[in-house]
Amino acid sequence: MLIKRLTPTHTYLQYGDDHAHDAAGKALRMANNDRTRIAMQATCNVAAELDSVFASRPDVAVLHDVRIRTEDGKLHIDHLFITHNFHVFIVESRTAGQTLGISDQKQFTLTDPLGSAYAIPSPLRQLMRNRALLKRLLRQLDLPKRFGRTLQPSFHHYLLIDPQAEVQNQSDIDFRLFVSPSQLIALIDQQAGSRSLFGFLQRMPSQQLRQTSRRIAQIHAPKGVRFSSKFRHVAAAEQPVPRSVLGNTPR
């Protein structure tokens, strides 16, 4: 079931004095504009592919581009999936048709179709931060119950890579964290279709899954987005969500 669609927001680039109006600065601005456009289009394409699989599924809730700022910090998840047996998949999407490189120091770079390489913030670090923040956020919500027992989510996190992209991993990061859309779909199906006793005890009705997912969507804070000179997502003009609001979000 599709709970929150991906709606592209207006973006602009923000530069410091070192990228003013000189020729080099203008060239960098144009290159980053192209990268921004490619990245957004790739994310939209992936979201559309995932929607075509899960939009009509009553056992999996799908939320795209979840942006929430709490007192614990800012959370931005590209794609979020919640199964009816409360497996939560946190997915960070990376640009299609490029080479993703990870050095032995766990520094990430992207190489665009023209062969230009540039450093990017670690998507793995963002994944782990999102996982920690989402855990705290869910504890502040009124979690669903089954047989009178509060359900406890099981968390999974992945870096979603286009099948055409190449991963050059020189670090000790587990390759299993890098998945294609088809691999991600299979992993979600595997957990949603679990017939274990624990899976049965965790299973919530479709309506309860919808309500739980909508509560997360309702505290999403859509704001204007800007990209810094380091090609980093920065949420603009956000206000923290007080804990009292989190605890009383309408169903």
**Packing angle of the helix pair 181-192, 23-54 (nearest 10 deg):** 40
pLDDT (tens, 9 = 90+) of the chain, 251 residues, equals: 999 888 766 555 555 545 556 676 667 667 666 666 777 777 788 888 899 999 999 999 999 988 888 777 788 898 999 999 999 999 998 765 678 888 888 888 877 666 777 777 888 888 999 999 999 888 888 888 888 888 899 999 999 987 777 888 888 888 888 898 999 999 999 999 888 877 788 889 999 999 999 988 888 776 554 444 333 333 333 344 444 434 443 33
Instruction: Say what the pLDDT of residue 228 is.
Output: 41
* Model-wide pTM > 0.75: yes
One-letter amino acid of 18: D
Instruction: Say what the pLDDT of residue 209 is.
Output: 93
Residue 159, beta-bridge partner list: 92, 178
Instruction: Say what the pLDDT of residue 142 is.
Output: 82
Task: Evaluate whether 80 touches 147 at the Cβ level (below 8 Å).
Answer: no
Q: What would you report as the CA-atom Rg of the chain, rounded to the nearest whole angstrom?
A: 19
Instruction: Say what the pLDDT of residue 245 is.
Output: 37
Instruction: Say what the pLDDT of residue 25 is.
Output: 66
Instruction: Say what the pLDDT of residue 95 is.
Output: 64
Residues 6+ apart with CB under 8 A from 203: 84, 85, 146
User: Rounded distance, CA 66 to CA 110, Å?
Assistant: 24
Show the tokens assigned to 95: 């640009």
Instruction: Say what the pLDDT of residue 31 is.
Output: 67
Number of alpha carbons in the 13 Å side-chain half-sphere of residue 228: 12
